[in-house]
Homo-oligomer: A and B are copies of this chain.
Amino acid sequence: MKLIQLYAALKSDLQAIEDALAQSVASDLPLLNDSALHLLKAGGKRLRPVFVLLAGKFGTYSLEQLKRVAVPLELIHMASLVHDDVIDDADTRRGQPTVKAKWDNRIAMFTGDYLHGKSLMVATELAHPRIHQILSGAIVQMCIGEMEQIRDFFNVEQSVRNYLLRIRRKTALLIAISCQLGALAAGVPERQANILYRYGYNVGMLFQITDDLLDLCGTEKAIGKPPGSDLRQGNITLPVLYALQDERDRAPLLAEIARIREADGEADSAAAVRVVRSSSGIRRAEQLAERYVAKALRVLEELPAIPARKNLADIARFVAQRSY
């Protein structure tokens, strides 16, 4: 099944989640309505709700219950994007002006806070304390991940382990708990919900590594921004860390990164990108990504062979193949 067919099959349930999302951010404050709706309309793949719905198929599927975890998860994701844009000083996302560009950093900050609060409010409509606990824990871990990223900007001495811990918190965790909470909201036993968590974790790691590869190897047209944006911001990703381990590439790459750092946002990262592209860093990062796909697919085998299991496998393969 192609991804587009999967979305078509889930269409009416995803639309119900979309409506619930719009309803959840509505307030009587026009400024807040505008900024939140602006974010909502900017869209996105609604990947987290898709995982919730598919995980729910392993239990007693109730859209009413599943909505109350899908909406919070997407709201947390949106909150992280809007706060991320403040950090990255990003003016556009998915081709639309960001909240911080359209309004300002203060509005972006409180829009994010509001979305965090709303996410838990929606979740507390389910009298399921364990779900509240997992969601609030995820907000905490994601903040730590964001702070780790700030700490590690331009840190060329960080280890690969360091990078993996950071993307685990920043990206993989929310995808992992999307699978877990979809299962729990459908009454799936904890043990099976944990298997779904592990699947989601591996797909999440894969997703971020692929994203980091795309930023280096994609064309501007494919990724919607100039390649090398991560490096320009000081975000040292996996292919770069691997390239730095290569004796031949280390010195020129260090020199380029130092130059970018000194230019304080005004530098071009094209030369650094060229070094990384021609290094072994790309291949090694791809190999690690492949290991995460394999792990995700292996974990799925522990689950009953219902159609949703096949869909989850397809998504893992699709994420792995995002082309650049």
- A interface residues, Cβ below 8 angstroms from B: 27, 29, 31-32, 79, 83, 86-87, 105-107, 109-114, 116-121, 123-129, 132-133, 135-140, 142-144, 146-148, 150-151
The answer to whether B146 and A121 have CB atoms under 8 Å apart is no
The answer to whether B83 and A113 have CB atoms under 8 Å apart is yes
A272 → chain B closest CB, angstroms: 23
A211 → chain B closest CB, angstroms: 21
The answer to whether A124 and B117 have CB atoms under 8 Å apart is no
A143/B114 contact (C-beta < 8 A), A106-B150, A136-B121, A151-B31 known: yes
The answer to whether B120 and A136 have CB atoms under 8 Å apart is yes
Report the nearest B residue to A151, measured CB to CB: B31
In Å, the complex CA distance between A105 and B104 comes to: 13
The answer to whether A124 and B132 have CB atoms under 8 Å apart is yes
Report the nearest B residue to A134, measured CB to CB: B124
Complex interface: chain B residues within 8 A of A129 (CB): 124, 126-129, 132
Complex interface: chain B residues within 8 A of A79 (CB): 113
Complex interface: chain B residues within 8 A of A132 (CB): 120, 124, 129, 132
Checking B29, B31, B146 against A110 with a beta-carbon cut-off of 8 angstroms, the contacting residue is: B146
Interface of A, helix, strand, loop or mixed by DSSP: helix
A140/B121 contact (C-beta < 8 A), A129-B127, A147-B31, A150-B107 known: yes
Complex interface: chain B residues within 8 A of A151 (CB): 29, 31
The answer to whether B105 and A117 have CB atoms under 8 Å apart is no
A311 → chain B closest CB, angstroms: 31
In Å, the complex CA distance between A133 and B121 comes to: 6
A76 → chain B closest CB, angstroms: 9
Of A32, A113, A138, the most chain B CB neighbours within 10 A belong to: A113
Complex interface: chain B residues within 8 A of A127 (CB): 129
The answer to whether B109 and A109 have CB atoms under 8 Å apart is yes
Complex interface: chain B residues within 8 A of A112 (CB): 109, 113
The answer to whether B147 and A29 have CB atoms under 8 Å apart is yes
The answer to whether A86 and B109 have CB atoms under 8 Å apart is yes
The answer to whether B86 and A143 have CB atoms under 8 Å apart is no
Report the nearest B residue to A128, measured CB to CB: B129
Checking B117, B137, B140, B148 against A136 with a beta-carbon cut-off of 8 angstroms, the contacting residue is: B117
In Å, the complex CA distance between A125 and B119 comes to: 18
A110/B140 contact (C-beta < 8 A), A116-B117, A121-B133, A132-B120 known: no
In Å, the complex CA distance between A109 and B116 comes to: 13
Checking B106, B123, B139 against A87 with a beta-carbon cut-off of 8 angstroms, the contacting residue is: B106
27 contacts across the A-B interface (CB closer than 8 A)? A27-B144, A29-B151, A31-B150, A32-B144, A32-B147, A79-B113, A83-B109, A87-B106, A109-B109, A110-B146, A111-B147, A113-B116, A113-B143, A113-B146, A114-B144, A114-B147, A116-B116, A117-B138, A117-B140, A117-B143, A118-B136, A120-B120, A121-B136, A121-B137, A121-B140, A124-B132, A125-B133
Report the nearest B residue to A139, measured CB to CB: B117
Complex interface: chain B residues within 8 A of A120 (CB): 120, 132, 135-136, 139
